[in-house]
Amino acid sequence: MNNIKNKKILLVICGGISAYKSLEIIRLLKKEGASIKTILTNSAKKFVTPLSVASLSQEKIYDDLFSHENESEMDHISLSRWSDLILVAPTTANTISKLSSGTSDDLASTVILASDKEIFLVPAMNVRMWEHPSTKENINKLINFGYHIIGPIVGDMACGEYGKGKMTEPSEIVDTLEQYFSKLKKNKRLKALVTAGPTHEYIDPVRYISNKSSGKQGYEIAKSLKKNGFDTTLITGPTNLEPITGIDLINVNTAEEMFNAVLECLPVDVAIFSAAVSDFKIKNKVKNKIKKKESINLNLEKNIDILSHISNHNSLRPKMVIGFAAETNNLNEHAKKKLHEKNCDWIIANDVSDPNIGFGSDYNEISIFYKNMKYEKLPRMKKSILADNIIKKVVSHLN
């Protein structure tokens, strides 16, 4: 099935001997029914001509960040927003270095850095350049930023050397994009729900019981679901995080509000409960602010267990229910117990006693416990990359 048809692809061509292959990429994508707009870097024009690119793409070429004509017709922001994805082929060592450091000194780098779309890089360079530690470090940074890397492959190079650094063949690049759009199309039929952040259980109008959850992991999971095509709703307690474009956001304060919001969003195919919901609430909340001289006796009662209620509900239960367990000791024991008692498909457990990971940090280290009681540990990594790993496993499980 052709999943590239009617897709809008922004192709960035950088300067390298492999640039001639970009013409074949355009031809293949046009054959599949895609619309192509192209940005040529100044060095790319030394290898392919604007006329040849325009003839194949049947679109004008963009090459100047400060072009009055281009900026009045389609500026660097709208050019990025027009596309369904950005393909940079070939991607030179220089471009990789610029993107990893956040440099935006031409139209290509500015569009890429301003983009809110998925970006596929196709590296092509001499084997020594590819193997240089700085290139490896830059590639790892870009992977952590969420860029997709296609290749390079091993082969003979124009310089006469042999090794890894050769640009992936155009047909394989187009196949990769086909698979990407196919995955999105399949996942668009699926609805996902994520809870994130803490809850606030009020003692009086200005004081509350809460926890250190920042909501970062839940937000990254929601982003990854959205990237993978899921129709995603994020229910979040109070955080300092920015809303995510393309995701339905529901803001709540208390555990009761979060529970009611979850019920209103059902049914869904996947529910991931990453919120750190307060276990207890104040039985008799005071209407007015308690004065400093007054004595306070907190009478607590248990909050509803959202995860357990949804996971054990026959008619409302999603196909896949994933819970989180933030622990400070006996992580494996507590996670397995929670997996069994809550009737989850997976429990994702992390040790929040380490201040460098978990609550408030951009990094996390988790263990995933599966219903068959097997588990796997994922090493410390950025929460964004961890989220992509989790959702990749979710997609694999659903398929």
227/230 Cα distance (integer angstroms): 8
pTM of the model: 0.80
Please provide the average confidence, as pLDDT, over all residues in the chain. 91
pLDDT at 159 over 80: no
Our CA angle for 8, 173, 7, nearest 5°, is 15
Quote the percentage of the chain above a pLDDT of 70. 97
Whole-number Cα distances in Å, 79 to 61, 107, 353, 372, 390: 12, 10, 45, 48, 31
Strands (E), 60-218: 61-62, 85-91, 118-123, 148-149, 153-156, 162-166, 191-196, 201-202, 208-209
Split at pLDDT 50, 70, 90, the class of 83 is very high
Q: 34 near 9, Cβ under 8 Å?
A: yes
pLDDT digits (tens, 9 = 90+) for 304-333: 999 999 999 878 899 999 999 988 899 889
Give SS3 for 110.
helix
> Up-side HSE of residue 279: CA atoms within 13 Å toward CB?
2
Give SS3 for 79.
helix
325/133 Cα distance (integer angstroms): 38
CATH class of residue range 188-398: alpha beta
Q: Which residues are catalytic?
A: 159
pLDDT digits (tens, 9 = 90+) for 34-79: 999 999 999 999 999 999 999 999 999 998 766 655 555 556 677 8
Quote the percentage of the chain above a pLDDT of 90. 70
pLDDT value for 69: 58
Strand partners, 164: 154
- CATH topology for 8-185 is Rossmann fold (3.40.50)
Give SS3 for 370.
strand
Other Cβ atoms less than 10 A from the Cβ of 61: the count is 19
Question: Do the first three CATH levels of 8-185 and 188-398 match, i.e. the same topology?
Answer: yes
